[in-house]
Structure 1
Amino acid sequence: MHAEHLHLWQHNHVFGQEQRRPGEQRTLIVIAITAAMMVIEIGTGLLFGSMALLADGLHMASHAAALGIAAFAYIYARKHAKNTDFSFGTGKVNALAGFSGAILLVIFALIMAWESLARMLDPVSIAFDQAIAVAVIGLIVNGASVLILGAEHGHEHGHEHHGEHGHAHHQDHNLHSAYLHVLADALTSLLAIFALLTGKYFGWVLMDPLMGIVGAVLVARWSWRLLETTSAVLVDRQGPETIRSKIRTAIEQDSQDRVSDLHLWSIGPDMYAAAISVVSHDPKSPLEIKKLLPSHCGLAHVTVEINPCCTQGAHT
């Protein structure tokens, strides 16, 4: 074979990662909103003595950093999509950013819990009216951020598939991380308002740090879920059983071909790579096997190995 003809059997590993993802522009908008509100809430939380308000501001600080990571991941994955140093493209940058964001969520949940416990042991006076006003503004800002990211996030969840471990495999983990951050912000703002109102009208001053602890627990639970799904992608855990079953069925039905080995792993949002070994008495070509595979399962890169099966081997 002449070298000039080799390109007919070669292909790139970009898999659409050079295109701007829908969540990128939304994330940049939310970063600007979050950073501005973060400065206001941290400053007023310190000024008015509200732990719930300060926790909300610190939470926003973590989310501004996490959203920055998300935006960087979108841009980096797009700019380096054609870099051949990435064996299967830059799709996993998305999961790496989501994993990093989840770790930040855990860290700031611990900080919130620690500061809340400290305020329980050593209460401080709270300027309730001013703190409530700022918390309401924070809730409005956070609600707007949830709406900005929420439409695209809902679209992603509408296309999820769950494997045998119950984890979501078919989503933009970067966008999911950003959405969880702004949702957690909205929750902590709501808890802050509730705590401040009960403190003002019922004298339940301890409700303020207690809501900080409640918020920390809820955020930690969300972050754990995200850590599970993103780590599964980063360590190349087997893809969903539903897709693997469809692959086996497509190859084995109406033939004596049998799938002897199948590896399926995520290489990016909505994208999977597969390595398939087929044993057959009447071997087909790899191209024929590939034509049998389902087209709606996100199989972006497929390698097929054909193994002829001798009669003696069939009976062993």
Structure 2
Amino acid sequence: MHIHALDQWQHSHDFADDRSHAEKNTKLVMLLTAVTMVAEIVAGTFFGSMALLADGWHMATHVAAFGITIFAYHYARRHAADPQYTFGTGKVSVLGGFASAVALAVIAFLMAFESVERLFQPQMIQFNEAIGVAILGLVVNLVSAWLLQAQPDHGHHHHHHHDQNLRAAYFHVLADALTSIFAIVALLAGQFLGWVWMDALMGLVGAGVITKWAYGLVRDTSSVLLDGAVDRKIKLDIVTTIEEDADNRVTDLHVWYLNQDHLAATISLVTHYPQAPEHYKQLLSRLPSLSHVLVEVNQCHGEPCLAVRP
């Protein structure tokens, strides 16, 4: 068979969607966060404020997480055509999201640990400086959140919502914003009501919320990374589509994620009226999430379920 004849039966295994806009905005967010981090550490050192120093180093962990996000985008794009990846690099961004989720969990643990310590050993707080920096941090985080959500519309409205790597970066920004909001409330209560313990209490609340986000990210990304079960409705749609065509019966079905937006499926079916595999793939073309389908057709020699072939 000639090479040009083979080409029509071959297809790309690059299932990594274009995330160039998300990567560009994440770089900008990382730069904003890094500048704010340096400002807080320098100001904390100059004014002798532990609150500023602590928040500055806290932001450093988020800069590292953004670095993971950007590396995942870069690696996936650079190795998209690398043959050593059977189904491309679509899961690299999911892996980046998983790593960032773990970083979020560590941050939540450190916040909780420090908050409990401050409940029993209250520290002197320089309220004016701390409130000013908390407000600055909140503004930076709101701008960063807007940048991460401002994705272009290419007719695929669901893509950036399913980008676990971008979702992880967004949660890091929300975690910083939440920390700033809780800090402002606690510092105002401490300054005007004398409730110094509010600082530690708000830290614990923030740690709890961040832990919940981290758990959700770990659950969603690990399901994709470990080829976890897909939505039962998708499997039912596949079986129904195949079996409504004739007296076909699906005998074996495996469906898994190639990345957060693309699915692969291997289907084994038995029928009295076998068609070429392309016939069944065409039937399934109405399911846009199915990007890679293998079909095995077995002829049944028993009594037909249908008397007349449709």
TM-score (normalizing by structure 2) = 0.90
**In the superposition, relative to structure 1, how do residues 249 and 178 fare at CA in structure 2: closer, same or farther (>3 Å)?**
same
Write the distance in 2 (CA, Å) between the matches of 1:277 and 1:202. 70
**In the superposition, relative to structure 1, how do residues 223 and 42 fare at CA in structure 2: closer, same or farther (>3 Å)?**
farther
Contact 1:286 1:304 in 2 (8 A): yes
- How far off is 1:118 after superposition? 1.4
**In the superposition, relative to structure 1, how do residues 149 and 54 fare at CA in structure 2: closer, same or farther (>3 Å)?**
same
Query: 1:14 matched to which residue of 2?
Result: 14
Write the distance in 2 (CA, Å) between the matches of 1:153 and 1:216. 32
- How far off is 1:105 after superposition? 0.3
Structure 2 residues not aligned, in runs of 5+ = 306-310
Write the distance in 2 (CA, Å) between the matches of 1:40 and 1:5. 62
Q: How does 1:188-267 map to 2 (within 5 A)?
A: 188-267=179-258
Count of aligned residue pairs for this structure pair: 303
After TM superposition, the structure 1 stretch with the greater mean CA deviation from structure 2, 293-302 or 249-258, is 293-302
Are 2:75 and 1:84 equivalent residues in the alignment?
no
Write the distance in 2 (CA, Å) between the matches of 1:143 and 1:174. 19
Name the % identity. Answer: 48
- How far off is 1:49 after superposition? 3.2
Letter paired with 1:112: M
- How far off is 1:219 after superposition? 0.3
**In the superposition, relative to structure 1, how do residues 210 and 236 fare at CA in structure 2: closer, same or farther (>3 Å)?**
same
Letter paired with 2:33: T
Q: How does 1:29-44 map to 2 (within 5 A)?
A: 29-44=28-43
Write the distance in 2 (CA, Å) between the matches of 1:207 and 1:156. 46
Write the distance in 1 (CA, Å) between the matches of 2:175 and 2:169. 10
SS at match of 1:15: coil
SS at match of 1:112: helix
- How far off is 1:24 after superposition? 1.0
Write the distance in 2 (CA, Å) between the matches of 1:156 and 1:293. 21
Are 2:274 and 1:275 equivalent residues in the alignment?
no
Query: 1:126 matched to which residue of 2?
Result: 125
Letter paired with 1:124: Q
- How far off is 1:242 after superposition? 2.2
SS at match of 2:208: helix
After TM superposition, the structure 1 stretch with the greater mean CA deviation from structure 2, 257-266 or 220-229, is 257-266
Structure 1 residues not aligned, in runs of 5+ = 161-168
Write the distance in 2 (CA, Å) between the matches of 1:91 and 1:265. 12
Query: 1:93 matched to which residue of 2?
Result: 92
Contact 2:163 2:260 in 1 (8 A): yes
Letter paired with 2:302: T
Once the two structures are superposed, residues 152-183 of structure 1 have per-residue CA deviations (whole angstroms, 9 ceiling, x without a partner) of 399999638xxxxxxxx971111111111101
**In the superposition, relative to structure 1, how do residues 153 and 245 fare at CA in structure 2: closer, same or farther (>3 Å)?**
farther
Equivalent residue for 2:164, pick from 173, 189, 196: 173
Are 2:50 and 1:49 equivalent residues in the alignment?
yes
